[in-house]
Chains A and B, each alone.
Chain A
Amino acid sequence: MSPGLTEFMSLDFPALLAVVLASVSCGLLGNFLVLRRMSLMGDAIAHAVLPGLVLAFLVTAAFGYPEHARDPLLMMGGAALSGIVTVVLVELIQRLGKVEKGAAMGVAFSVMFALGVLLLEQAAARQVDLDADCVLYGQLESVMWLPTDPTASYFSWSGIAEMPRQVSTLAFIAFAVIIFTTLFYKELRIAAFDPGLGKTLGFRPQVMHYALMIFVAAAAVAAFEAVGSILVIALLICPAATARLLTDRYFTQIGLTVIIAIIASVGGYMLGTRGPLWIGLDQSVNAAGMVTVTLGGLLAMAIFFSPSHGIIARSMRRFRLSVSVAREDLLGLLYRLEEHGAPGMPRRQVAAAVGPWLAAQVASRRASQRGEVNSRNGLVELTAKGRTIAQSLIRSHRLWESYLVDVLGLRPDHVHDTAMRLEHVRDAQTGSRLMPRVEATIDPHDRPIPSNGPSAPAPTANDDAKSDGHA
């Protein structure tokens, strides 16, 4: 085996495996925290397991078995216990202290964490093998796989048996989390969406809730040593929050969290250990920190670029809507001008007349592309096609005005702006159902309501309009 590969298998591979397993377990569980809008509970538990963990170290040291302090079963037991204690504590503070849930969680986890820090000092004083840096930031770099017999393959059973303890603990937890979320797929879903119905159907949402909290605590402890207690929170929340921006499907949501967790952990690890060298720095950065930054980066990208919920997609949709409204407003305006006998509108006034400048520019270009308006001698005017559309708009506008005045009893001078918004709802489905059926031919401002038929004779207010040369 080449020295490079040996180095990779001994140093990078176990660390990568650890961070992938940690982020997949936390990411999967995080779904249920994010979807139930209780992300802070994950935060609370991730912090609150600290005293339990340190206590386990102190107790085993006191009884003279310090080597058992990192026994996975003992750690998981401690974690489950602190998880339940936290949940119960939060509920007690909420009920007895009469404060809102967020406040109760804030109090519970900061106090538990502080207790853990105090205990940690004691542990340091007694020279127990546990230090604050490791607890806070994790020690991904210290996860090493060094089989006793270096000549033997890394892929032999004896080699695998010598996998670092953190990795085997995480593998066990990841396996348990995957079994839990698969087996109770439907139960977790109903407990998250509608616990009331879940209870009447006999699915015990409260039990599912506690089981979930125990798993969160166990995953937090297992991930603790790899990425530290603070970064665990990002592993719990970021993948699920990112996935939520990318899909509206439950199964896809859960699948995406796994993919995002893997991408962020592999990408972040590589960036952390190799990235600085690529750009010529001579020292790598904390890999766990880089994984978290990557998670944050992916979330930020989803916030901006998600095709359905992203800021960019949403502003594009809003812009398209305002263009279409501006286009219709332009047609309506030209129609009204024709009614008054004006030949058209000077090009330069269009933007000021129909809404935001950019939308108006695009709208007027689109209207002429579609052959709805013509531009002649600097004047914008309706074509026959444009007039038909304008007519149906004006009809809609004036019918709404009549409805608002005659049926709802609003004052005639109050209804124009409302009608200006409502007139744009004209698609066949909603429009025909919602369009008020007012038997009026004259609107509250004494303007004729155009008929619904195909291109009725244009403007009636002033006969000059026709002689002014409209085709």
Chain B
Amino acid sequence: MNRHLKVAFMVAPILLVLGWGGADFYEESKANETRFIQLEQEGQCDIINKNCVLKSGEFKVNVFDKDGVTVVNSTFPLDTATLFLVDENDKMTTYQLGMQLTPYYWSRETPLRQLVSNKGEGHKLRLLAQIKGGQYISEFYTQTAK
């Protein structure tokens, strides 16, 4: 092994570590950029009967009502979750949900159950779920089936 080969083999790991550090830094800063991702409704949405799933790729959000408390359960931990009830005049009422025991569950008491308690009643909602590096947004319509 000549001296140039020795030097190259000594320098290569340093460059490798530098490259690894640089790539990590690049990925980290890219992940911190806020992106908006639209959640799509998976089939019919019926919050009262615990049948409302919104999804985007592997990220899924289940929205359901439990005794007047609207609960949001997601497959990834959330930083914040905000629910908006939208009336027929397109006016929104904001409900900032609070975290339950884990960041996978967020809830708050809302008037949703009173608004759509009877069969056939529906209401428009919007959801804003924030995770690191992205905000998931969705506009959907809940309709009580039974």
A associates with B: no
Binding site for B on A (CB under 8 A): none
Binding site for A on B (CB under 8 A): none
